[in-house]
Amino acid sequence: MLEIPVINSSRHPLPAYQTEHAAGLDLLADLPNGSIELGPLERMLIPTGLSIALPVGYEAQVRPRSGLAYKHGIGIVNSPGTIDADYRGEIKVLLVNLSNEPFTVRDGERIAQLVVARHETIAWQPTETLSETTRGAGGYGSTGK
């Protein structure tokens, strides 16, 4: 298990996995005034009160919650949002209301998921050709309907 240093300046518990094999931890809104309203097509940075120190070679991805997306049309504009290992500021979630109805975000509400993953650092190898594949240069929609 990877241990991540965390500062929690909110009044809420640390993010937790909701099931035994879940990949994402639920991030909670930290809204000292109780709630905010997100109008149709409006986007807003929602604070969580959390700051973390990831080890080099890891990133944290902020992803939408499927229930909020399905039931209310609430998503994340830059999904997945990436938190790099050298970032030490507060984690904030860029929510967007893609519905036609206002949505109230309440203090302590689960607003996103956080997935921590390893990543590779690459070095470019300039070349004149690439290996051939069945797909080749086929772009969007080239493998089916």
* Domain layout of the chain by residue ranges: 22-118
What integer is the mean pLDDT of 91-105?
A: 98
Residue 51's φ and ψ, nearest 5 degrees, are: -130, 140
- pLDDT, residue 101, reads 97
CA distance linking residue 20 with residue 111, whole number of Å: 20
- pLDDT, residue 12, reads 97
pLDDT (tens digit per residue) in 79-89: 999 999 999 99
Residue 71's φ and ψ, nearest 5 degrees, are: -80, -30
pLDDT (tens digit per residue) in 2-32: 999 999 999 999 999 999 999 999 999 999 9
Residue with tokens 């004149």: 128
Q: Model's pTM, two decimal places?
A: 0.88
22-118 homologous superfamily = Deoxyuridine triphosphatase (dUTPase) (2.70.40.10)
